[in-house]
Amino acid sequence: MQGFLSPHLQAKEHKGIANGLYVSFYYMGGALGSFLPGFIYNYLGWIAFLCSLGVVCAFSLAFAIMLAKTRVYGVRNEN
């Protein structure tokens, strides 16, 4: 993922805070990613679980395509 980030987005100062935020969001995403599917399955059923999984996969694919186009075609804004 870091290969896609612009050098302008990388922390030059307060690297400890940037690292702390990264780790916090990383583990928060992992916790939510393990809790929410179980919650959806228990309360909404198998079909809702599969639909939510499809939405997450579609969003991930769209994001990956957007990043690939930005990287290959140089569409990103370099202000």
**Alpha-carbon distance 16 to 59, whole Å?**
30
**Alpha-carbon distance 59 to 27, whole Å?**
20
Matching residue, tokens 């997450």: 56
Residue 2 Rama label (left phi>0; alpha psi -120 to 50; beta): alpha
| pTM of the predicted model over 0.85 | no
Matching residue, tokens 């075609």: 73
pLDDT of 16 > 80? The answer is yes
Q: Can you tell me the mean pLDDT for 65-73?
A: 79
**Alpha-carbon distance 68 to 76, whole Å?**
11
22-65 pLDDT per residue, tens: 999 999 999 999 999 999 999 999 999 999 999 999 999 999 99
